[in-house]
Structure 1
């Protein structure tokens, strides 16, 4: 049977997999209500925002990332092995920053076939020095170390000052100097803790406060640490990129930004994309979003047409959902992107905030899935459960059972009636599904996803033995 389809401003869609209850527009694209969030109207000009973000995040990822080629095929290679090897090589060569404690290797990514890798260094200067390791041997193989094709050098102090002045902000030269030093990963010193030589403390503090970077370098370092800690929750994999032409990182950036803006998937004004990367063969890429919420919202672009092909957006294999501890640490930082976070105000009418991950279990609750008429029809309920199971298995992972709670002669709590419950094999898969299904539209209704305790779900199964579809 067919159901009504809602319109959507989404770009051209992926090829439909089959007729399903999950809503699609006239072209067959799934309609996602999205997290339509608005700013408070008090944001600084875009160019100033870029400057502030640059200073707060430390050096740019593209300035700190290196390409490592010719990886050996005769030895065990994984992220930890390669990261440890580079850490030791940098230390033995004297390339590590002597004024900074801790590891200089921040992140490692190895290609699926393990022929090349990308390493993100702690500072721009350490990334620059690592070029001197070109030819160092690992398991007898000379490694090829170079800048990636999308390498972007960090801005100079002059460039930052020009940007600030272009934004119409005056009297903040000290803030620009501080921002430039932080962005370039240079150790700061002089008469002011955390400020370059010659900067008046009062002026610098006032300027940094005006930019929302109070606390000088310590604040920037804290923000950089939070961005690093949340990176695996803010990054998505983009597959099936067009093969007719080699897509650049900038083109992918522009496509994602435009698509998210058109589909109202951003949570505050400005560019939602923090960084983009495209593999050398142009087959896949990665997009790092500025907030965790936008990293969930962007999945709604999966299936949209880009260069004549339907791209596939999903969580990377190293995806790590935010823990309760991390969520608490990021509160008020603007990195979560949840309602009430910095720069994020309210949801649009009809929209619900993302699922509460602090209460996550292996069972997902989907609200607004059935009307009263459908709850009274055995065949309708069976089809809804089948559709839900098929979608979850195809897009998220193994499903153990699906249950539709209907009215009847039982003692089921009223708040569960009308909901569909999906039990997954583990909590991590359930979290992915809840984030992906939340605010999708099902037969014109906006779905809300949450979680239920596994023991409570076991009790529901006893009430509905005939309404249980197993995986």
Structure 2
């Protein structure tokens, strides 16, 4: 959406490609990973603390730091998954009950990767949703533990979409129907983020790929209550806009998204990077400073940099005086967007360096997101205007603005 709104890029879809079926065939080497930069998680993920941590989502108040520690230690010993010798694999657990998640830190990256196998395992009241931290930059693979259904369905040729599900059916009831054709390796019933209501569709994968076509043939079009099932491979055969099929049914990998038209203008010395940072990344002063320095250092590899600007969101802690009009969350979001929050601007001394940086950084991965890049000249017409973005300021990274 950011790229579309600038008017500087090709229409959505022009530079995107569906996953070639050959990439999903077992036994073939995995495709080369997209090059990453910044945050210290590029070449060797073991150097980062994030490679030793796992995110546990949707925890309940019954989940505590102690019982989660005991659970992982016991299960890894039981399944013989610990890879780092003697002692307990879990170093620490931190629970955030306000946002219903926890982080589990292991003594090694190998232990964390092994523990990914427990994604979907039942603990207390339901399955554990285990993910890598959003800024993790290493491998995501894990072994499959028989009997444990992962909640993360990877984008492969064997990923299956099932739509038309009555909203009152839960995970166990839907899986009971699908298990008729084989053991399920991974399953994810998509729910509304707020109230947790089922959206009526899910993704799943069988342990035995041979069960895929059999299940599709038997279940597609079946009546369930007052609805009819739509079931097919997530990446093959479906078309956008078909009834009951959401955009998520079409996994795609972005190619480097480059600007539309000719980009070799002689005075285009400003590099604009999109899909690189989110407002949440920019609130904490320390995290903002790390991102600012990472961007500056990486961009200097392409030539001398005159200035770097990463607009920050307005503070939301303002106390409202009696009778003072409050700013709604939606209005605050518009203010941030109008200020350029979510974009990264880098001004080079020379236009040639900006162009080389664009070609070198477009498509690179930063905090798990694929960077979109273009170049601008000093007089380019953008919103917000470039003279506002590059207004004079102290050399230090700017503080959070007051709303």
- The TM-score normalised by the length of structure 1 is 0.26
Q: Which has the higher strand share?
A: 2
Alignment TM-score, normalising by the size of structure 2: 0.29
Instruction: Indicate the structure with greater helix content.
Output: 1
